[in-house]
Amino acid sequence: MPYLKIQTNLPLTKKAELAVLKTASSLIASELGKPEEFVMVAIQPNTPMLFAGSDDPVAFLELKIIGLPARKTKSLCKVLCDLIEDHLGIPKARVYVKFIDVKHGMWGWKGDMFEASSRPAKSPVMATGLGGEI
């Protein structure tokens, strides 16, 4: 259930938005070892933003996931900043990345909640026992 939200002050074409979304989805799945079918990515272009008092191109990324290992945040930060620089041309020095490790039972899906029990290979474990953490 990884969720990545990308905000930038740059205006983007629909084609550019879709390219970033697809690349980010695949990247998150690969980096976290999660099935892409559970990855959600959103982009909010043309958002009024300042960083260091400047409205030069900037991006803010927020990655939420249940059970995010702290040892993964450094490598995730690098690949996400690379993604933004490669696709949007925003220098890494103008990108913030926030990581949020969501507690079990605080993320719902399909009318139920993810729980802490182990999960089958490609299915999220839900409180009903149908699937758990993603």
Q: Mind telling me the catalytic residues?
A: 2
φ and ψ of 68, to 5 deg? -70, 115
CA dihedral sign, ordered 91, 94, 99, 100 = negative
Looking up tokens 């890494």 gives 92
Rg, the chain, Cα only: 16
Residue 52, phi then psi, degrees to nearest 5: 55, 35
For 42-131, where are the alpha helices, taking DSSP H only? 73-88
